[in-house]
A and B are shown apart, each in its own frame.
Chain A
Amino acid sequence: MGINSPLTQNLMPNKTFFWFFLPTGLAMILFIGLPIISTGIQSFYAQHDQVVKEVKKCDPFGCTVSIVVDNEETTKLREEKPLGKFNGFGTYVDRNHLAIDEIKKFWNETENFGAFVDQVTNLPFYKALIFTLTYCLFVTPNVLLLGFIIALSLNAVARKIRGPLIFGTILPMIVTPLVGSLVLFWMIDSQGIIGANIQNLMNDPYLSLKSSKTLTWITIIIYGIWHHSPFAFVVFYAALQTVPQEPVEAAIIDGASRFQRIKHIVLPHIYPVVTFVALISLMDNFRVFEPIIGFSAEGSAQSLSWLIYDNLVNEEVILFGSAAATSMMTIVGIAILLAPVLIRTWKEFKTAR
């Protein structure tokens, strides 16, 4: 996107560039770069264990030694070393993350592969990973498809009434995901207009979102499509305005059907935009977590971001180490998603020079 050709002379000296860029650069280094490093460091530490001491208690029937938590010592230790104790990669491999030991155990103990997969997908991290990937996999293509269809369809109506129609179309996108999911949840909940009616229709008073994992997943995915399609629509709609007229007219004269015209002229023209929308949509879908709160779906759907959130709002002790380890693995996931795009840009950049 917009790579400068080497022929144009450099207009801005380095020193001027530095001063212009300093404020924003500093903001990004301090509050995006450093936090990533901070997360990395935190992921190698774990919260302190509680300090215990033996207490000897004697009563007429004899003496018993019991182990109790030494609150004073624990607080002291936490104040001295707030980061916790060094844990190396311990947090990464524990039960709540990669669960290496558990997986080995399952591998040795389970009878067949199906049972093994069942066991593994019940571990918190893998459960969240699978939900996150499923969400991305179903939402992204459908967002592209629905966005494209809406764009084609709105592009065919009279220009005068397009304004209000576009406004109506982009509403799901401009509300925050928490509000968007709440608004839908209040309708499909067992006490909402849609949920209650479905219960009546199916004659099943226990049919509700919370009762079924599959239903919850489907609802969240439908929400995702509802929320993100308007973005795809807006970009595709703008791209459609730039489709050249002559080839389309020529194709009509040659007797090409509407479908053929879209496939051979419109789609190739807007192809770069499609990759752009797919990339942005994938990045946004990978961080899904607000709808899980909005739909109160914690029971049956957890995403990677939700796991981090859950660690950070933990009532007793904030699990910095655990949250940081999940965060680092999420960042690795993002890096894998972005890698093809970055490699392509790098190649384009090299050939442009």
Chain B
Amino acid sequence: MDYGLDRKSTSLKTFNTIFIIVWLLIACFPFIWTFWGSFKVRADFFSRSDWWYAISAFNTLIETGGKFTTDAYTQAWTEGEFWKASKNTIIVTVFVVSISLFLGTLGAYALSRSTERYAFWILIAALIFRAMPHITLVSGYLFPFFQLQIWGILPTTIVVLVAINQPFTLWLLYSFFKTVPKELDESALIDGCSYFQAFRHIIMPVMWPGVITAGLFSLMLAYNDFTVTALLLNQENHTMVPKIQSYLGTNQHEGNLMWAVSAVVSATAPLFMLVMFFQRQVISGLTAGAVKG
């Protein structure tokens, strides 16, 4: 709101600047601090006696001979088998994103082009499904999955995450498809295309921004999920987030806690970079439902 008329007083400007700086500190400092601390030994990062140790690296110098150490990373990735967890996360994420988008674009296109009463009710049902806490769904899955002996493996988790993700993906893509004029597919149909051909060759090419946004949100859901992956995967197949939880332990071993710190940094860094690249899409996705709708 940069109105030519709207002159802000200096004090208001100063106050605004201070507020933003304080807020950004609150929002970002915990991550910067964890990143910094992940290169120290536990006695420095978790020090009761003197927090300055985390800066001066007092114990890190004694234990490793340097001010920074990557021990926590190397140990977590090798001994802690974090490489396996990240491999599993990549598999789950890739499949969830591609299947979600495939199902979601087809369904949302149909919803956006139908004027029948049921299309409206399907969207409402999707909204209700979106509200279901994931843990209540998991409590429904566990028993049948044990009986069918499909518990613990990656494909089951992938299918479950795809399904849990559908309501949001449908709403998001629906609001994007609504912005594509109906005349576009109408003319294609008149030219003799089938619905699927019109969808595939006319509509999808102009839908890329929406598809990228929906893909990013599926990715964040699959990548960040804890409830489903922690309860539906066996130890061997754990993805990164449940793995981090397993490092915490109950009586917090020294090695393990620093493993958790380095694992948190390892898991968060790719996500931050991704969001940095696709910031515009993330924001347009969050606002699509609210502002356009």
A117 at the interface (CB under 8 A from B): no
User: Can you list 15 A-B pairs with a CB-CB distance of less than 8 A?
Assistant: A4-B119, A11-B115, A12-B113, A17-B110, A36-B132, A169-B23, A176-B223, A176-B241, A182-B264, A187-B30, A196-B50, A226-B27, A231-B286, A235-B291, A312-B231
CB atoms of B287 and A308 under 8 A apart: no
> In residues 268-296 of chain A, which contact B (Cβ within 8 Å)?
272-273, 276-277, 283, 286-287, 289-290, 293, 296
Name the 4 nearest CB pairs between A and B, nearest first: A35-B140, A31-B163, A176-B224, A24-B107
CB atoms of B137 and A24 under 8 A apart: no
CB atoms of A308 and B264 under 8 A apart: no
Stretch at the interface among A50-58, A100-108, A122-130, A316-324: A316-324
- Report how many residues on chain A are interfacial, defined by Cβ distance under 8 Å: 118
B61 at the interface (CB under 8 A from A): no
> Which of A37, A186, A226 lies at the interface centre, i.e. has the most chain B CB atoms within 10 A of its CB?
A186
CB atoms of B51 and A312 under 8 A apart: no
Residues from chain B with Cβ under 8 Å of A171 in the complex: 27-28, 31, 272
Determine how close the nearest CB of chain A comes to the CB of B3; give it in whole angstroms.
6
> Which of A3, A157, A327, A338 lies at the interface centre, i.e. has the most chain B CB atoms within 10 A of its CB?
A327
Stretch at the interface among A63-71, A88-96, A209-217, A243-251: A243-251
CB atoms of A189 and B110 under 8 A apart: no
CB atoms of A17 and B116 under 8 A apart: yes
- Report how many residues on chain B are interfacial, defined by Cβ distance under 8 Å: 113
CB atoms of B30 and A183 under 8 A apart: yes
B126 at the interface (CB under 8 A from A): yes
Of chain B, the residue at the smallest CB distance from A29 is B163
CB atoms of A276 and B275 under 8 A apart: no
Residues from chain A with Cβ under 8 Å of B289 in the complex: 1, 276
CB atoms of A327 and B5 under 8 A apart: no
Picked from A153, A175, A184, A296, the residue with its CB within 8 Å of the CB of B20 is A153
CB atoms of B136 and A331 under 8 A apart: yes
Give bound CA distance, A186 to B30, whole Å: 9
Contact with A along B82-125 (1 / 0, CB 8 A): 00000000000000000000111011011101111001101011
Picked from A9, A32, A175, the residue with its CB within 8 Å of the CB of B164 is A32
